[in-house]
Structure 1
Amino acid sequence: VKGFVIMSADQEYPEVTATTIAFGSCHRNKLVKPNQPRIWDAISDLKPDAFLWTGDTVYSPVKAGISSVEVLKHEYDELLNNSTIGYSNFLSNAMLKGYLEGGVHGTWDDHDFGANDYGEKMPQKEERRKLLFDFLGVTCKERRIRDGVYNSITFGMAPRKVKVIFLDTRSARQNHCIPSVGAVQIPFGLGSAIGCLTRWLSCGLKLNNMFERCRNGKMLDETQWKWFENQLESDAQINLIVSSVQVLTTNPAMESWGQFPMERERLLKLLNSSTESSSKRFALLSGDVHHGEISDSSRRWNLGSNDFSGQIIEVTSSGLTHSCTDPFYGGLCSPVLDKFPKHRYEGKTVSGENYYTGKNFGSIHIDWGQADKSDDESMAINVHDNLGNVVLSTGILPLTKYSSHLSDAQIPSILSPIDGHLIPFMVRVIFGLVVLISSLLIRRKFAKTIQKERL
């Protein structure tokens, strides 16, 4: 590519040719029970070359309000040091079993940031960043003074190189179209559910496209956008983009890039332009939503096809310790997921469904093939249950056929949660109210006429 300059990553492991990478999100320490199978044992059995935290590494014990820095520090320390949880054993056994040579890396989401659904208005961001950096063992000075936790890692050397780019979708993210009350103290912990409802309403009524403030809302600041654009200038054959919130979902209840339409389009166009004249492949990894699923950018125009070109795959794994079915309103989880299936990957699944609501983690498996035969190279991304069984899978994606590049016409047509599906219902409701009010006024006028005639 003309003008192509390879940008170095924040941390590089040239000696580690990655074949297995594990990832996960949403870990609430207090939900780990001593008598239950530990998910960290299942992850350890994979012997991953690296582990990627995709957000919500810890949670405050208090569900509402803003967590103090001291409370979050306690939760990080508990995760690192309490052997009952299993994470400390996962780390300590790495040298004995010969895994994690590529280290542990990550970004944050709302809960380890400090409050449910929070963004740019979070106080003490610098102190909160320091907690995450200390937990991950980050020593790079440039990263520690950066205004955000976005970072990049590479494993191996070209042509067997993997790059992981972690985005920070919290530090500069502006309010949703209808500002979320997810962190507000509301009886029965309904703040989160109400936040889902207001997002649903704004997408279902297309408010995100109707109002300029909503349409142009920001996920990333310009500094991070510029950094991200530079990091995409990569010689890695496989590029994993980690966003704590989903990118391709059509579910309007969840926090996602789809709630910020201009930012989502900018992200997809940027990924697209960086693959136009190269052999790079992209996959998206995400967390946040407390269920696992696989999404596919090509669902609208490539249904049932075995053609892997023009396809961006996103694999969501969430959560390590809990599920969307756990709250008292958890019975709504599966019906809501069933209501919005259009983004889901129709490739190989194991459970027979296109999502999984149990505790889970994810893994990327790369087969680099024989040294002189690039046709043998392939990748598969899986979601596992807490025992390590594969419950969802992309199946084998041949790297010679799997292309993330789309046409310019395809990007705007990638399915979005902003679909206006509530507008017909609202029209009927308004029409019904007009008819009802008109009937009442006519009836009232008729009654007054009769009363006058009687007088």
Structure 2
Amino acid sequence: MRSIFAALPLALAAPAMAQDAQVTVGPDAFLEGYYASIKDSVAMPTAPVGAPLPSNVATITRIAFGSCNHQSRSQHMWDQIAATNPDMFLFIGDNIYGDQTWSGDAALTTLREAYAKQASHPEFIQFRSTIPMMVSWDDHDFGFNDGGGNFAFRGFAEDIYETFWDSSEEVKARPGIYESKVFGNAGRRVQLIMLDTRFFRADFERMPFREERPPLGPYVPSQDAGKTMLGQAQWAWLEQELAKPADLRILVSSIQVLTDAHDYESWEQLPLERAKLYKMLGARADSGLVILSGDRHAGGIYTDTPLAAGEQLWELTSSSLNLAFNSTERNTAREPDPRRITDFISEENFGLVEIDWDAEQLTLSLRGAAGEVRVTETIGWAPPVSDAPPIMGEPATSGSR
């Protein structure tokens, strides 16, 4: 614990009594005072100037996205993404790795240094200047591996994020970094919903100790109704967003939603919250829907028909941009998954969503390090639900791949 408060005045290490011995001052108040005292002395990096978002009436037909980008590794993927000529790019989490050498200081020095390093790359500078971006975060740019709402320095991590990405006034005005935008006129309206699965999230429950490390993650699903993924305010906001008129909704979650095939971070670990999400998605105003996710250092296309949603859902996971850990053949065999309808692409990749407004179809694909198509699937606008929906985990597929 000592290192966590290494950069703080000694008084910050524990709650203390005010001088009049009447008011107890907790750690949050001490942290506010600490951050106020250092605000003029610490560097707060900013991203390269970005291309403006399309106008709210612009027709969007091609959206690229990606996750898991290490600031100290090759930045070659930016040219490959730009070559697909996307209308927008969604940077959906682990956009830098600022926690790997973190010493526990409250000033989050390594997080700020990682952002500054990313901002210095010519490839990223060029990409930012030409391709509009929307951004979310995951744990490594939130500041703490697998971190959530109990991360003591999350408020300052949010300040760093919002300063770097020049977040909208709407985002800056509330805790968390969730955001939504609608583009296009009636008949061609796409809504982009960027969730925050970090700032409010309850801790996941860990498996009991055992000598051998679990091969596919340390967590177990919790039935604790008090645990939250999004927090009360974000849940209320999401319900309002899903009631807005749109023809297609793209829901971004930094961690995977549909799969039950592993015990790493995913919505599976909070099944009551996932059922709540499914029910809310099923009750949305009439529209098509696709889910995008990252985090896994591998990617694929998933589908399932959860009873709570009442319809077939599709998810495209893309990860990573420059931090691949394994081979596709080995990873696919290591993690069998009846909900994943493709190989588990483990080499560097980015995702692409292509919208055919006339045919009311989406083409979902993962592109490799040379821009090549690794997997693809074309789906109908709102895929029909059969009279006898498949058992959860046994999806019906459509299109080509």
Q: Normalization by structure 1: what TM-score?
A: 0.68
Deviation at 1:89, TM superposition (A): 1.8
Give a deviation string over 1:347-371, Cα, whole Å, max 9, x none. xxxxxx52211000001111223xx
Cα 1:59–1:379 change in 2 (3 A) is: same
Deviations 1:54-84 (A, max 9, x none): 111110262676575332122122212222x
Q: Deviations over 1:385-434 (max 9, x none)?
A: 01111111122x232x535x799x969x5349xxxxxxxxxxxxxxxxxx
Measured in 2, the distance between the counterparts of 1:79 and 1:341 equals 34
* 1:234-383 → structure 2 map (5 Å cutoff): 234-275=244-285, 278=286, 280-298=287-305, 310-325=311-326, 333-337=331-335, 340-345=336-341, 353-369=342-358, 376-383=359-366
CA 1:12/1:143 → structure 2, altered by over 3 Å: closer, same or farther?
farther
Structure 1 residues 53, 248: closer, same or farther in 2, change over 3 A? Answer: same
- The answer for the alignment partner of 1:80 in structure 2 is 119
Equivalents in 2 of 1:406, 1:162: separation in Å?
Answer: 26
Distance 1:221 1:71, change over 3 A: same
Structure 1 counterpart of 2:392: 414
Partner of 1:158: 186
Q: CA shift at 1:134, angstroms?
A: 2.5
Do the aligned partners of 1:158 and 1:237 also contact (CA within 8 Å) in 2?
Answer: yes
Q: Which stretches in structure 2 are left out of the alignment for 5+ residues?
A: 1-52, 395-401
Residue identity in the other structure for 2:151: M
2: CA distance, partners of 1:151 / 1:324: 31
Choose between structure 1 and 2: higher helix proportion. 1
Q: Distance in 1 between matches of 2:54 and 2:273?
A: 29
Q: What's the CA shift for 1:159?
A: 1.1
Deviation at 1:243, TM superposition (A): 0.3
Counterpart position of 1:227: 237
Per the alignment, residue 154 of structure 2 pairs with: 125
Change in Cα spacing, 1:136 to 1:251, as seen in structure 2 (3 Å) is same
- Give the Å deviation of 1:194: 5.9
- Letter in structure 2 aligned against 1:336: R
Distance 1:17 1:261 in 2: 36
**CA–CA separation in structure 1 for the residues paired with 2:330 and 2:141:** 26
Name which of 206, 212, 218 aligns with 1:198: 218
Structure 2 CA distance for aligned equivalents of residues 131 and 157 of structure 1:
35
Whether the 8 Å CA contact 1:239–1:283 is kept in 2: the answer is: yes
CA distance 1:82–1:12, shift in 2 (3 Å)? closer
- Residues 341, 194 of structure 1: alpha-carbon distance in 2 compared, 3 angstrom cutoff: closer
Using the TM superposition, give the Cα deviation of residue 297 of structure 1 relative to its aligned residue in structure 2, in angstroms. Answer: 1.1
Q: Bigger radius of gyration, 1 or 2?
A: 1
Q: Counterpart in 1 of 2:380?
A: 398
1:28 paired to 2:70? yes
Q: Once the 2 structures are TM-superposed, how far is the Cα of residue 335 of structure 1 from its aligned partner? A: 3.4
1:217, distance to aligned residue in structure 2 (A): 2.5
How far apart are residue 324 of structure 1 and its match? 3.2
Contact map agreement 1:216 1:262 (CA 8 A) in 2: no
8 Å contact from structure 1 (residues 289, 324) kept in 2: no
Aligned in 2, Cα 1:196/1:64: closer, same or farther, shift over 3 Å? farther
Instruction: Say if 1:57 and 1:108, in contact at 8 Å, map to a contact too.
Output: yes
Secondary structure in 1 matching 2:254: coil
CA–CA distance in 2 between the matches of 1:289 and 1:180?
23
Which of 364, 372, 385 is equivalent to 1:389? 372
Q: TM-score, normalising length from structure 2?
A: 0.76
Structure 1 pair 112–24 and aligned structure 2 pair: CA distance change class (3 A): same
1:197: Cα distance to partner?
3.8
Aligned residues: 338
1:157: how far off? 1.6
Amino acid aligned to 1:242 = V
Match of 1:97 in 2: none
Name 1:55's counterpart in structure 2: 93
* 3-state SS of paired residue (2:72): helix
Aligned-partner Cα distance in 2 for 1:52–1:274:
22
Preserved contact between residue 324 and residue 346 of structure 2 (Cα < 8 Å): yes
Runs of 4+ with deviation above 6 angstroms: none
Alpha carbons 1:244, 1:287 under 8 Å: kept: yes
Between the aligned partners of 1:270 and 1:219, the Cα distance in structure 2 is 14
The amino acid that maps onto 2:360 is E
1:70 is aligned to 2:109: yes
Paired letter, 2:60: A
